[in-house]
Structure 1
């Protein structure tokens, strides 16, 4: 009975999770007629990966989600793998009788006996705001004779050429295609040969333009997830590239490996399509898990949750241009109570009670160059989740090895690290029943991690190893949907 209760209580309060059974990649995220639509890879018959469908949920604020009926089912062309949804405002497809509506572009995946699987791109459209879907009778619309990995289309309208652009994962590269009507596609270019991280298959690409430091200057950000493999000892992760795009070719400013999130549990993330221009945000959502242990996490009758929605932008850090990410402002109305921590030198342990369920902890620290600050979340069952800010090595270390259930995977107990600055450090921690998302210095560094404590964390402790650092300010805020 206790085990069942605990597993039930791992269900997040603020992040989306399916009512039951399996979920992985977010798909088809789009804003249409006042609602955010989240589709997702879903096996409705089991808590482990299996025949892929598209699940569907809607929200008005990206916090309260209502799960809807399954949107897309497997058929004779195969399972329904990842893809995207656009609003066809000008009826370029002819599906909407001169009006507008939602079009899904997705990968059909067909397993074959004694042969590699086939992957090709197909269409479906909705005449009722995403509630039901009609598959295009002439599917598939894009086939590759050469690529085995040929999947996860992300499509957007490129105004300068009056064409749709598709970016598609193809092994360790991505391919660009263009179309006037979403049906007939022309190959434009290929990106990725010998750049970035190359030791595993690329998946779930995205490409969009972002402002730099809030100015009118802009660059394009390409996100590419990297699948699990033996050479990447942390399992599946997500890399990104910054560059320019002319509607045909993406040109990176460099070919370095940049990780979007330094934690174990943020994968396959993509951004919402058709956020209104007056809003202006690029909002991203990731799958909060890792292929190394996604099928065995101890959540009972449901598996997986999404990250918080995050606003992406670009900023300068020293001489480098990097991606920045912060939780959406829609989270703010859910702050229902808070505890304020006063300024003090960390000459002894600072201990404050927490709110046990979902909460946000904001800390400002003055970190001495030769010091370590240790932040511990502890439960009454002695579960301990520890964050260490190491000024000498300029890293943040997350240790979940003593934070409850960890025995389902050897990787789960290993520490995770993220880069930090010395001196003045800002840290925002958003906790839910089975997750922690860290945003360092305004989101210039992020770390996302699952955690399965046996009891809720009841105390927050902050201490300085060498007693040379100080707490500038701190707040512990309850987050509740009521």
Structure 2
């Protein structure tokens, strides 16, 4: 009898260890536990979505999507182990004609099946015909573009066509941390109100879809059709190769080119950016050779066959991090008939205050070679904040504009900022130009796109002109829409050495902006701005060279989690995230000594009429 009992116990333990059991069934689902870290989910009664429970502290699970027992695609999801942070939808609609199963390999390292069955994901996974994407985040911006849910980093594939701006971006629809990179897609007719669209490119057999660019092929050089939208992007699998896709419906959907890849290399190369060069009658493509810290320049007659013409960058500018996300454009020089070429190069790490940033080079381009005007050791920064990266422009923009947008975060802490439903946001759109200084050097001008003026509400808070000293003067900021606003002011520092502009709330949280007349600098101190303890790299003071002279003009754009400071003439810009636990309600201006004259202080409460990325949004 004891032998039989021992044998039965042994068989039970063996059964539990290898997982030969079918677990509890959810409505419409059947879950088989095949091992301590291996399960199979069968969709028995399909609906629109399978809602996957996510816990960000959990390890990534690898999920093979099986359709009629064949692997259709693979994705990674941090399936909840101890608690559910949020849900993400897996769209079942494309598979309605087949039997769908999910082969799940978790990274939770459970000791046995019984422990694995207790993971939170199994009790909270469910089928649904809708997914509630209405905003649940206190820090979600109101006038900056964000994804409805999930992770976003680099903007890419941006183009303008038939009155619509298309913004694609690096997107993970299966969690708010980096992974599963696809091209998310939003559209706008005015650059400030955005409509969320369906992703246009998703991972395939060549890998995830990294950054790239789109052009409108007006003359049908590629043979896909007149005015086809052509995308070239990095396929990131075991290696990084360049692939092509095209759209015949104004960028709503794309078809991948059957002869991909179109550019290969044994180096780590990514983020192709292309444009039509009228003088040479060819397409030009700039490719970032990331670890070589170079930009490679190619030409093509048809967008399919590319010839490498030259390289630029070795030994130039900041060489501390990898080089990524290039853009090459010709810009007018303010007040002259002259034009110069600008090569944008985003780097990570190596930014002036740590982490990622964007540098640029000014020079000439002859259709094959870019030649920089400055010495190799000179570094010029596009933005002097910590949260401005992957800056690229819209192709085919109207009126020959060069309008750019950036990812408003930093790789030092992007995965850890205090939001869960989504990460991250884009900067305001900005128009670029050049100005020339006395020694003959050229620098970028960066100003908010004029479309941002439409954000101003009908009511303004006009505080006029007044004088301030060490004791300072405080003015109220708007309370509507969580205090989002634009602030315009002029300063005449007169006898002051420093002028401080402090944004604060009743909790004592504050961000301090300072003009230092001694060293002609502008700074932003966010060390006490609100939530800062999610990363040791977040508390920071950032500094920019300010125009010389005691008279300054400043424009501030304050959203729920960001401050963008623009010099009135565009000679510097500074972008920083802030996470105050209550909106800033007071703007105070003071000096370290002497007096400062404040002129034309005007606060514009901002309104967003139709931002579909933040309004209540039930996805059906």
Give the drift of 1:6.
11
Q: Which residue does the alignment assign to 2:565?
A: 438
Q: Does 1:452 align with 2:575?
A: no
Does the residue aligned with 2:251 lie in a helix, a strand or coil? Answer: coil
Q: Distance in 1 between matches of 2:322 and 2:478?
A: 41
Give the drift of 1:369.
6.5
Q: Which residue does the alignment assign to 2:170?
A: 41
Q: Distance in 2 between matches of 1:443 and 1:436?
A: 16
Q: Distance in 2 between matches of 1:223 and 1:240?
A: 4
Alignment of 1:369-408 (within 5 A): 371-408=497-534
Deviation string 1:274-330 (CA, Å, 9 cap, x unpaired) is: 012xx2321000000000000000012100000000000001234331000000111
Aligned length: 467
Q: Which residue does the alignment assign to 2:256?
A: 135
Q: Distance in 2 between matches of 1:280 and 1:346?
A: 43
TM-score (norm 2): 0.73
Q: Distance in 2 between matches of 1:351 and 1:12?
A: 25
Alignment of 1:77-476 (within 5 A): 77-96=206-225, 99-111=226-238, 118-145=239-266, 147=267, 149-171=268-290, 172-228=293-349, 234-254=354-374, 255=376, 256-276=378-398, 279-319=399-439, 320-336=441-457, 337-347=459-469, 348-356=471-479, 357-368=483-494, 371-420=497-546, 421-476=548-603
Give the drift of 1:226.
0.6
- In the alignment, structure 2 segments of 5+ residues that lack a partner are 1-84, 87-133, 610-620
CA contact (8 A) 2:484 2:606 kept: yes
Cα 1:369–1:165 change in 2 (3 A) is: farther
Deviation string 1:178-233 (CA, Å, 9 cap, x unpaired) is: 0001110001000011111111110000000000004321000110001126x965
Does the residue aligned with 1:413 lie in a helix, a strand or coil? Answer: coil
Cα 1:88–1:135 change in 2 (3 A) is: same
Question: Cα RMSD over matched residues?
Answer: 1.7
Q: Distance in 1 between matches of 2:608 and 2:135?
A: 20
Q: Which residue does the alignment assign to 2:95?
A: none
Give the drift of 1:343.
1.9
Which of these two proteins has the greater Rg computed from alpha carbons? 2
Give the drift of 1:368.
3.6
Q: Which residue does the alignment assign to 2:14?
A: none
Cα 1:209–1:400 change in 2 (3 A) is: same
With a CA cutoff of 8 Å and minimum separation of 6, indicate the structure with the bigger relative contact order. 1
Q: Distance in 2 between matches of 1:204 and 1:86?
A: 16
Q: Distance in 1 between matches of 2:323 and 2:256?
A: 27
CA contact (8 A) 1:371 1:469 kept: no
Give the drift of 1:474.
1.2
Q: Distance in 1 between matches of 2:504 and 2:411?
A: 28
CA contact (8 A) 1:227 1:235 kept: yes
Q: Which residue does the alignment assign to 2:27?
A: none
Moved over 4 A (4+): 3-7
CA contact (8 A) 2:344 2:359 kept: yes
CA contact (8 A) 1:270 1:286 kept: yes
Give the drift of 1:140.
0.3
Structure number with the higher strand fraction is 1
